[in-house]
Chains A and B, each alone.
Chain A
Amino acid sequence: MDKLYTDAEAALEGILFDGMTIMAGGFGLCGIPENLIAALKKSGIKDITAISNNAGVDNFGLGLLLQTRQIRKMISSYVGENKEFERQYLAKELDLEFNPQGTLAERIRAGGAGIPGFYTKTGVGTLIAEGKEHKDFNGETYIMETGLKADVSLVKAWKADKEGNLIYRKTARNFNPMMATAGQVTVAEVEEIVETGELDADNIHTPGIFVQRIIKSRDLEKRIEQLTTRPRQEG
């Protein structure tokens, strides 16, 4: 089966619909599928439930889909960099489900691994625990969290081969590997596509079974949110 598509729009053809659930990888603007988000915006589909650690910034990342009001609900751990998000939420134009970051990562991992629920200490005694099953193990209280799946997962990797084996780079990995496992269809946007056999089989981060469609990124911006540097020492 040929998994390679010419561009982001072609890779999303036939798998998008109003009201769907979409996972998008990335931490802040690091490791986000830029081309696929742009194509999602262009598709014009509405009422998306978006599962992503963050909501981008006002004019980049998932923030683009907030501007066009294509997202109805977000499941995230932190949205502090996005003023439009805060405005839409406080005006009740947008649903928001906050998940602790580790709980979000594990819910996605569980969803992809066929595990419908698990128990965690995170959030016990807080708003997060309200309405959830509590259970004691060895004298400590835990709450039950459920696995998450998506109709489509959009992930960003560094390299892929034609089988869909993926390698991520540095901290751009973040949520991408779990999301790749949890999509009914997973589309990978990568910086380089190599011939099958060229990647070191011992160093594949996401095995190709989890990836159905692949595109090569065009005109990646890779925007930096907080450029922090130190001066070079004299002499």
Chain B
Amino acid sequence: MAWTRQEMAKRAAQELKDGYYVNLGIGIPTLVANYIPDGVDVTLQSENGMLGMGPFPFEGEADPDLINAGKQTITELNRTSYFSSADSFSMIRGGHIDLSILGAMQVSQEGDLANWMIPNKMVKGMGGAMDLVAGVKKVVVIMDHNARDGSAKFLKKCTLPLTGVKVVDMIISDVGVFVIEEKGPVLIELAPEISVNDVKERTEADFFADIGLL
């Protein structure tokens, strides 16, 4: 049984450590905020200029001057600070953010990430993704293991334009968890009823399997 999006987010939340400053990308990564483990205090950064992001506002209390990087209305906490985009990316590029969790179209076995462009097809832009992967201490990708047409997204080499080179530290997909090490990717966890062979069939990248040592 492959993991659902909620289960992937829950697994990613285990990477949050007490005291971390964390930037969550748009989509499944945003869900991670719902599964912060008890006793772990993290501060969420939003790259449009906010540290200490609170939950969505109650109905009728949304403030157009208070949004996250996904342009959703949010709230502040008593620890919140606001700042300019330049200060925001000083935090990101300057290595002050502990963890970034983001989505991916493709990841290579060396940890290259592609998540911003499909030539002649999708023209949206990279937003803050290139800065995040270049500057944040640890980068975790959450993604469906395969594209909608079934093709592999975890590849020997990315075919789409890159967001960053050798930047991904961990991949959480619906079939399992990989850490990218110097020797190559290592599969360290499997979703229930998924075998290493199942994962191999759905993956183009070469990887080691090291299940059950945790």
Q: Chain A: residues with CB nearer than 8 A to chain B?
A: 27-31, 53, 76-81, 85-86, 89-90, 96, 98, 100-106, 108-109, 120-128, 158, 168-178, 205, 222-232
Contacts and interface: CB of A to CB of B under 8 A. Distances in A.
Given A170-B65, A171-B65, A101 B72 contact: no
A89 B126 contact: no
Interface residues of B, number: 54
Contacts of A31: 65
Given A90-B120, A90-B123, A175-B85, A224 B62 contact: yes
Contacts of B76: 170
A225 B93 contact: no
A78 B92 contact: no
Interface stretch (B149-157, B159-167, B204-212): B159-167
Contacts of B86: 105-106, 108-109, 177-178
A135 B184 CA distance: 28
Contacts of A225: 67, 71
A226 B134 CA distance: 28
Contacts of A177: 84, 86
Given A30-B67, A229-B62, A231-B59, A174 B84 contact: yes
B48 interface: yes
A77 B126 contact: yes
B65 A30 contact: yes
Contacts of B131: 100-103, 122
A77 B163 CA distance: 13
Which 9 A-B pairs rank lowest in CB-CB distance, beginning with the nearest?
A: A102-B89, A102-B131, A125-B165, A80-B124, A100-B130, A78-B125, A105-B85, A222-B64, A101-B128
A217 B110 CA distance: 51
B82 A79 contact: no
Nearest to A169: B65
B49 A171 contact: yes
B29 interface: no
Given A28-B67, A102-B47, 11 more contacts: A98-B125, A101-B126, A106-B89, A171-B49, A171-B65, A173-B82, A174-B48, A174-B49, A226-B71, A229-B73, A231-B59
A98 B124 CA distance: 9
A144 B46 CA distance: 26
B134 A229 contact: no
Contacts of B57: 228-230
B39 interface: no
Interface string B112-127: 1000010010011111
B55 interface: yes
B135 interface: yes
Given A102-B93, A126-B164, A222-B64, A178 B70 contact: no
B165 A126 contact: yes
Nearest to A176: B84
Contacts of B112: 125
B134 A171 contact: no
Contacts of A176: 84
A86 B123 contact: yes
A123 B135 CA distance: 11
Given A30-B67, A78-B127, A53 B85 contact: yes
A194 to B, nearest CB: 18
A230 B84 CA distance: 27
A78 B124 contact: yes
Given A122-B93, A228-B56, A222 B49 contact: no
A121 B92 CA distance: 11
B61 interface: yes
B64 A101 contact: no
